[in-house]
Structure 1
Amino acid sequence: MSNTLKGAAAIVGVGTAGLGEAPGFNAMDIQALAVRAALEDAGLSLADVDGLFCANMSHTFPAISTIEYLGIAPRWIDGTNTGGSSFVAHAMSAAMALQAGLCDVALICYGATMRTGAGRMVPAAEQPTYEIPHQPRYPMTAYAMAAARHMAQFGTTREHLAEVALAARAWAQLNPDAFERGDLTMEDVLSSRMVLEPLTLRDCCLLTDGAGAVVMTRPDRARDLAQKPAYFLGGGVASYNRAISEMPDLTTTAAKDSGARAYAMAGLGPADMNVLQLYDAFTINVILFLEDLGFCPKGEGGAFVSGGHIAPGGGLPVNTNGGGLSFTHPGMYGIFTLIEATRQLRGEAGARQIPDAETVLCHGNGITLSHQATAILGSENTL
């Protein structure tokens, strides 16, 4: 694969707003507040933005609605919606647009009031035809099926799943912005209300408000801005199916391909990654992605996460902000992987900072294991 996008762009600003609960605000309001925070972080203004990349759960035409709300007229817009993976995919699209000269400053943004707005979103016009007669409870049904199959095929246990939730909470306790920071034990996870077997309430992500924004530009400009750049090293996307019933194998996701493409572009491999930010809508996600992204063999994800291996002080830091399980999850989580990666590479993560972090792998998951997007970010030393 060509490495022409390696180092072609860098994240120069990140911002969040309305995390947890944002009463009195709508999705566009808190998205705009996150945009302002990201631009201030970069030392840029709204007038500098000439590329926009966004998706959301509240507007049929999110990019068009966003440019109107912000009062901008960018030269390039991309409203591709692949679910929660959209923003990790947008990082690669933004890198392409910047390299091609289609824009000079790319803004990636998302906002949702899934908690105070009672989870309101655009009604889904498209539903999996062969699943609806069985009255599934989306998205939990899909992930419960994947978890049950992984348990049956590889001997994965509920305790293995719980280890993912415990690690996320331990990281969240180091993050003052995390929504859930209380103590959590193995027994708490195992005894919490069963949502859909084998997933309990603590195996499922939060439902919060929240917005995030990321600003990207070309390296020559990035070096002159306010913050230490987080360079785009490689990316990849892949999709095998829309419906979980059409997924070729419930225990292998398209992350296997998106990750391979990202590694090839970056000229790096799993062993080169210092930190991982994995989309953890459910505990099974982390186990599946650790396997598919090459951090352990297929079927061994449960053992891999055991003993606090992905928790603070463990061998591989995963979801250092607390993830969707304990930090925030406003319907779509992908943009927060990019934000936390950038803060780690800058050394700005406070008590949860990973010493000498030079590389971070971000992975986004869309819909019901339907779309996967991987992006690798690195410090200037990795170019």
Structure 2
Amino acid sequence: MTVSIIGTGQSNYTRHPAPGTTTAGVIAHAVRNALQEAGLKPSDVDGLAVSSFTLGPDHAIDLAWKMGLKLTWLMQDTNGGASAGGMLQHAVRAIEAGDASVIVLAAGDLMDGNAFSDLVANYNRATQDHLAPLPMHGPNALFAMLTTRQMDSLGLTREDYGRIAIAQREWAELNPGAVYRKPLTMDEYLAAPMVAAPLGRFDCVPPVTGADAVVLMADTRAGTPRAKILSVRASYNADQQDGDGLSTGLRLIAPGAWAESGLDPASVDVACVYDDYPAMVVAQLADLGILPAGEDPSVFIKRRVATHELPVNTSGGQLSAGQAGASGGMHGLTEAAAQLIGTAGARQVTARHAVVSGYGMVLYRYGACAAVSILEAAK
């Protein structure tokens, strides 16, 4: 049995949500759009998985009730940037087992100034007890130290990271759903105010309000464009906190994912990797094997990413489209599926295979969760 994504949807990202905007509302909007693209109705859905930081005090079942869904399978994931891969893994198994036939995966958040401040101050116990009391705001300082370490280890410069941010901004210019679409130059990137050296303004993901959703089902009718799920793996590894942060849990799971898919990293036509900071784009491309071991990362960025020879984060990624809370990981899955289905509009590329990675849940220093999905275009 092959499980595929047959529809994608988004609730428009915005930096300043209108009065009356709710988390439940933006998630429901994304779900409606995804079902419409798939040619389905809410009554066709019997499975739902949701990830959100701000849905509370409601839960996934409350959201399902508000949307009028009657379900035989329900899941709520709390693992941030890795949640899309985790939900996808469970949903594929549920369809294969016959627990549901049409599953919607959705993620989103109302992320205004108050919500963001509360999130970064109360992310988990380690944050409350050890990070929030310090004169720092969110994870920027932690990833500034990681970025410095990566620069020293790989010989990268701020210009190298700038090429990643600029390349993604070029993709965002073609995406009407991206919050930041104004062209970005290297001079502007380098001159931007420092947030936590060496991270400048354009290195740090901007919080926005919005949601993303995809529709999964098996054995669609012949001729229906879809993104087949070739493999999906997830890693929940607290041991990552003891390392140097320069590699992620992807390094543990990527080999198995490639083997299960029957592909290798050279087969990838589009990569959607979790991009809260440019350094994490480099780390994940390396852990996935797309940045080959032994190749100069700076040369790779100049030759393949900056030129769009390898399309990376074709929506503009979170650095330009924005990070809608827990939808950060779902954003990449939605974009990759749209590229393979052929609904990416002006930013559409020719792609048969895509890889999506998620990274998230900073326990104390680094993300503890990771996920990878490998997709194939089919009709």
Give TM-score scaled by structure 1 length.
0.89
Q: 1:84 to 1:298 in 2, by over 3 A?
A: farther
- How far does residue 73 in structure 1 lie from its aligned partner after superposition? 3.3
Residues 63-72 or 25-34, more deviating: 63-72
Aligned to 2:37: 41
Contact between 2:34 and 2:215, CA under 8 Å: does it hold in 1? Answer: yes
- Residue 238 of structure 1, CA deviation: 1.4
Which residue is equivalent to 1:201? 201
Question: Cα deviations across residues 128-158 of structure 1 (Å, max 9, x unaligned)?
Answer: 5665665553221222121111112222111
Q: Deviations over 1:165-184 (max 9, x none)?
A: 01110111122222111121
Measured in 1, the distance between the counterparts of 2:212 and 2:198 equals 31
Relative to structure 1, the CA distance from residue 351 to residue 54 in structure 2 (aligned partners, 3 Å threshold; closer, same or farther) is same
Q: Is the 8 A contact 2:53 2:78 kept in 1?
A: no
Asked if the contact 2:23–2:55 (Cα under 8 Å) also holds between the matched residues in 1, the reply is no
Task: Measure the CA separation in 2 of the matches of 1:231 and 1:121.
Answer: 38
CA distance in 2 between partners of 1:328 and 1:174 (Å): 15
| SS of aligned partner of 1:235 | strand
Q: Distance in 1 between matches of 2:295 and 2:318?
A: 23
Alignment partner of 2:281 out of 281, 286, 308: 286
The 3-state SS of whatever aligns with 1:85 is helix
CA distance in 2, matches of 1:69, 1:196: 42
Q: Could you tell me how far 1:302 is from its partner in structure 2? A: 3.4
AA partner of residue 124 (structure 1): Y
1:56 to 52, 55, 61: 52
Match of residue 126 from structure 1: 125
Whichever residue aligns with residue 371 of structure 2, its letter is: A
1:214 is aligned to 214
Match of 1:249 in 2: 244
- Alpha-carbon offset, residue 188 of structure 1: 0.9
348, 357, 367: which one pairs with 1:363?
Answer: 357
Change in Cα spacing, 1:240 to 1:248, as seen in structure 2 (3 Å) is: farther
Q: Deviations over 1:177-215 (max 9, x none)?
A: 221111211111111111111111100112211111111
> How big is each residue's C-alpha offset from its partner over 1:6-54, in whole Å with a ceiling of 9 and x where there is no partner?
x631001111113224413111101111111111111111111111111
* Structure-1 residue corresponding to 2:104: 107
Aligned AA for 1:234? S
Whole-angstrom CA distance in 2 between matches of 1:372 and 1:298: 23
C-alpha separation between the residues in 1 aligned to 2:39 and 2:159? 46
2:358 pairs with 1:344: no
C-alpha distance in structure 1 between counterparts of 2:109 and 2:132, whole Å: 26
SS in 2 for 1:47: helix
- CA distance in 2 between counterparts of 1:41 and 1:53 reads 18
Secondary structure of the structure 2 residue equivalent to 1:137: coil
Report the TM-score, using the length of structure 2 for normalisation: 0.90
1:331 equivalenced with 2:325 (yes/no): yes
Amino acid at match of 1:328: G
Match runs of 1:7-156 below 5 Å:
8-20=2-14, 21-24=16-19, 25-60=21-56, 62-115=59-112, 119=116, 123-127=122-126, 136-156=136-156
Q: Which amino acid aligns with 1:292?
A: D
Cα deviations by residue, 1:71-104 (Å, 9 ceiling, x for unpaired)? 3231111112211210122112111100001111
Q: 1:150, 1:299 within 8 Å by CA — same for their partners in 2? A: no
Change in 2 beyond 3 A, CA 1:50/1:180: same
Distance of 1:200 and 1:299 partners within structure 2: 26
Alignment coverage as a number of residue pairs? 367
Aligned-residue offset at 1:359:
0.4
In 2, the alpha carbon distance for the partners of 1:81 and 1:17 equals 20
Cα RMSD of the aligned pairs, angstroms, is 2.2
C-alpha change, 1:26 and 1:224, in structure 2 (3 Å) is farther
Residue by residue, what CA displacement relative to the aligned partner does 1:306-340 show, whole Å, maximum 9, x if unpaired?
25x214x5321101110001123112311111211
Q: Which runs of 5+ in 2 are unaligned?
A: none
Match of 1:4 in 2: none
Give the aligned partner of residue 374 of structure 1.
372
SS of the counterpart of 2:126? coil
Q: 1: distance between equivalents of 2:124 and 2:152?
A: 34
Distance 1:175 1:46, change over 3 A: same
Give the whole-Å Cα distance in 2 for the aligned partners of 1:35 and 1:185: 36
1:299: Cα distance to partner? 7.9
User: What's the CA shift string for 1:107-128, capped at 9, x where partnerless?
Assistant: 1011212137653666435225
Amino acid at match of 2:212: G
SS at match of 2:106: strand
Identity of aligned residues (%): 32
Cα separation, partners in 2 of 1:290 and 1:179, compared to 1, 3 Å: same
| Rounded Cα–Cα distance in structure 1 between residues aligned with 2:147 and 2:285 | 14
Equivalent residue letter for 1:335: M
Tell me the distance in 2 between the aligned counterparts of 1:277 and 1:95: 20
CA distance in 1, matches of 2:378, 2:109: 33
Question: Does 1:228 find its partner at 2:225?
Answer: yes
- Structure 1: segments with no counterpart, 5+ residues: 1-6
* In structure 2, distance between residues paired with 1:184 and 1:300: 25
Instruction: Answer yes or no: is the 8 Å Cα contact 1:235–1:263 preserved in 2.
Output: no
- Among residues 303, 308, 319, which one is paired with 2:313 in the alignment? 319
SS of 2:183 mapped into structure 1: coil
Is the CA contact 2:54–2:115 (under 8 Å) kept in the aligned structure 1? no
